[in-house]
Amino acid sequence: MPAAPPSPPPVIPARIDHYENFPVASWLCPPRLRAPIAAIYHFARTADDIADEGSAAPAARLADLAAYRAELHAAACGQAPAPRWAPVFGPLAAQMQAHALPLAPLEDLLSAFEQDVAFTRDGAAYADWPALLDYCRRSANPVGRLLLHLYGVTDEAALRESDAICTALQLINFWQDLSVDIPRGRYYLPLAECAAHGIAITHPATQFATLRPDEKATKLIAACAHQAGDQMQKGLPLVHRIPGRAGWELRAVAQGALCVLGQVQRLGAQALVRRPTLRKSHLPGVAWRMLWM
């Protein structure tokens, strides 16, 4: 989980053409951990681009992700990276060796990216909350566990809290990006939750595109936002387990995410057509809530 002090830190993104809500390897991060965090971020960002960017066919994306997984295994064995992704796997291999980074969380991330491709190709949606939370377990929770590994925090309570925060961050990102994801064929509103609010989705590829900002959709998004907020509250005690600058950065990440979630809640069904963002004008409030924590 990323971390920040009474004044939210500047973002140092792995690639400046990607919008980021929250800090990545900010100056608040302990200097000795900036290199491994940046290596993990580059690994995940590049894999996400393979799954999501450009015009490649799904079969080509899956083939590239399989090759990317083979490069990960080679890096774990200390082998020199192939030229194609050397800027990713050269630094990652060095940091895996220097910090004994576990392989399993990195593989889980790739599994989630592969699922993204398959779901987009098939026009599929998540049946219910357990299915969506399992996706979050692989798409988001591994990042928090890798960071806890770097911080030397390994107790089970901290791992559970980390998972809750990371799942909340992923869910908040989904509800923030509804207006972007649905047109791209990414459907994260669980079908069972839709049905519970009187919205029957039997053909996601066509019916999600016809969702309208009405009262039913407002109640649906409110329920989804509540789920994300509940997950975040379960994880927030973790900020008191992470010492120093890393703990402050975690506060910044959590409060920045809650600020975005608040915007989603205020927008209601309008989140289907408008994307809330974290702006400079929000930072004083985020900083105050960080201090209040």
**What number of other Cβ atoms are within 10 A of residue 187's Cβ?**
24
Contacts 24+ apart (CB under 8 A), 193-198: 193/128, 193/129, 193/220, 193/223, 193/224, 194/220, 196/223, 197/223
Taking only the tens of pLDDT, the chain with its 293 residues reads: 444 333 333 222 233 233 343 344 455 567 888 899 999 999 999 999 999 888 899 999 999 999 999 999 999 999 999 999 999 999 999 999 999 999 999 999 999 999 999 998 888 999 999 999 999 999 999 999 999 999 899 899 999 999 999 999 999 999 999 999 999 899 999 999 999 999 999 999 899 999 999 999 999 999 999 999 999 999 999 988 887 778 788 888 888 899 999 999 999 999 999 998 877 776 777 777 777 77
- Please state the pTM of the whole predicted model: 0.85
| Domains annotated on the chain, with CATH | 31-292 (1.10.600.10)
